[in-house]
């Protein structure tokens, strides 16, 4: 109890320090040297993208968050999208499957793609290959992502991120930390487990704690998982689908701002996008 109390006091002090740093150091310095509007913009940028993310990371380290993840992690160390998909196959099969569905591969996140996304978001112009923000699983950001715009708008889309995990781990117990903490990245030519997190973007939002600009997402990730399964089945690019739990059983409840039953859809990708020569299904033990 004393340890937890000390940790919470330390986190509270970090919060007070961050407010002092933002208001009385960053803003006061900028306000004395720049026009007020520029001072506010500069303060927001430094607070949302530099100071607060680092304060959150330090706070989480103090609290020793070591739970087995049933969801991805943001760059700030906060819970991200729930894991709700695993497809088994090669990278080429994965690309062909989503291309057959009419989904686009997301551009790599960078200065140019970020600026194009911001411009498309503001004027509501189409950007079918818009980049995704970085979420983390297995100690690294997503390996690839796919999306389907809704109504041609960059503000609304179905999308899913994938992380590759070698088939050597297909017999691992999903309730064991070793399954989720593995950081080995397999070769792109291998037949692997593509662990995915699919959600539906619905508009504009600010992230909790750091207030970074991002997409708002629909809370019902179960519905998005079922939608993607339905699309893949309709195009005959996957075999039979089995449902397994991520980690220990997660009852229907909120994870971050999501509602999830914790179930992950497992299926094998077909050898080609037309559904011939279905591959054998390989799924990890549910634990």
State pLDDT tens for residues 84-125: 888 989 999 999 999 999 999 999 888 888 788 878 877 878
Sheet strands (E) in 167-280 = 192-206, 213-217, 242-245, 253-255, 258-260, 263-268
pLDDT of residue 198: 92
Does 52 share its domain with 167? Answer: no
> pTM of the full predicted structure?
0.64
Does 254 share its domain with 199? Answer: yes
pLDDT tens-digit series, residues 48-90: 878 887 787 677 666 644 444 577 877 766 778 888 888 989 9
- Residue 252 maps to a domain: yes
Does 38 share its domain with 91? Answer: no
Is 23 in contact with 31 (CB distance < 8 Å)?
A: no
Does 171 share its domain with 246? Answer: yes
Does 123 share its domain with 12? Answer: no
Does 90 share its domain with 20? Answer: no
Burial 73-82 (b: 16+ CB within 10 A, else e): bbbbbbbbbb
- Residue 214 maps to a domain: yes
Choose from 4-8, 15-19, 95-99, 168-172 the range with maximum mean pLDDT: 95-99
Q: Which helix (H) or strand (E) holds 145?
A: strand 144-150
Does 17 share its domain with 115? Answer: no
- Residue 189 maps to a domain: yes
Question: Domain boundary residue among 63, 82, 110?
Answer: 63
- Residue 280 maps to a domain: no
Does 47 share its domain with 159? Answer: no
Question: Domain boundary residue among 63, 79, 98?
Answer: 63
Does 59 share its domain with 75? Answer: no
Does 76 share its domain with 209? Answer: yes
Residue with token string 């979420």: 135
Query: Which 3 state secondary structure label does DSSP give 124?
Result: coil
Does 40 share its domain with 179? Answer: no
131 φ/ψ angles, rounded to the nearest 5 degrees: -75, 160
Whether 254 has a pLDDT exceeding 70, the answer reads no
Cα separation, 16 vs 13, whole angstroms: 5
- Residue 225 maps to a domain: yes
Does 45 share its domain with 115? Answer: no
Higher pLDDT residue, 213 or 136? 136
Query: Which 3 state secondary structure label does DSSP give 118?
Result: helix
pLDDT of residue 40: 92
- State the average pLDDT over residues 236-255: 61
- Residue 282 maps to a domain: no
Whether 264 has a pLDDT exceeding 90, the answer reads no
- Residue 167 maps to a domain: yes
Domains contained in the chain, number = 2
Domain holding 234, by residue range, is 71-268
Question: Domain boundary residue among 29, 63, 97?
Answer: 63
Whether 172 has a pLDDT exceeding 80, the answer reads no
Cα separation, 286 vs 209, whole angstroms: 34
- Residue 233 maps to a domain: yes
Q: Which helix (H) or strand (E) holds 120?
A: helix 111-123
Encoding tokens for residue 263?
């179930």
Question: What mean pLDDT value characterizes the chain?
Answer: 77
Is 163 in contact with 138 (CB distance < 8 Å)?
A: yes
């Amino acid at each position: 109890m004393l340890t937890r109390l000390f940790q919470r006091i330390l986190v509270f002090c970090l919060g007070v320090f961050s407010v002092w740093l933002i208001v009385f150091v960053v803003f006061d310095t900028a306000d004395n040297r720049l026009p007020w509007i520029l001072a506010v913009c500069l303060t927001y940028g430094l607070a949302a993208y530099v100071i607060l993310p680092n304060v959150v990371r330090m706070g989480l380290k103090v609290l020793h968050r070591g739970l087995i993840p049933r969801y991805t992690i943001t760059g700030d160390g906060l819970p991200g999208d729930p894991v709700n998909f695993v497809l088994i196959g090669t990278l080429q099969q994965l690309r062909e499957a989503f291309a057959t569905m009419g989904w686009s591969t997301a551009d790599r996140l960078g200065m140019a793609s970020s600026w194009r996304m911001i411009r498309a978001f503001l004027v509501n112009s189409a950007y079918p290959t818009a980049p995704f923000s970085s979420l983390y699983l297995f100690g690294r950001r997503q390996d690839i992502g796919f999306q389907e715009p809704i109504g041609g708008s960059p503000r609304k889309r179905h999308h899913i991120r994938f992380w590759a995990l070698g088939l050597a781990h297909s017999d691992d117990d999903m309730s064991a930390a070793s399954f989720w903490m593995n950081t080995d990245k397999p070769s792109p030519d291998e037949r692997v487990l593509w662990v995915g997190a699919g959600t539906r973007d619905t508009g504009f939002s600010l992230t909790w704690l750091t207030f970074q600009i991002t997409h708002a997402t629909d809370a019902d990730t179960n519905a998005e998982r079922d939608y993607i399964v339905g699309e893949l089945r309709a195009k005959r690019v996957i075999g039979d689908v089995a449902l397994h739990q991520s980690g220990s059983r997660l009852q229907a409840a909120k994870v971050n701002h999501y509602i999830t039953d914790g179930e992950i859809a497992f299926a094998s990708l077909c050898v080609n996008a037309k559904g011939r020569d279905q591959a054998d299904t390989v799924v990890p033990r549910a634990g």
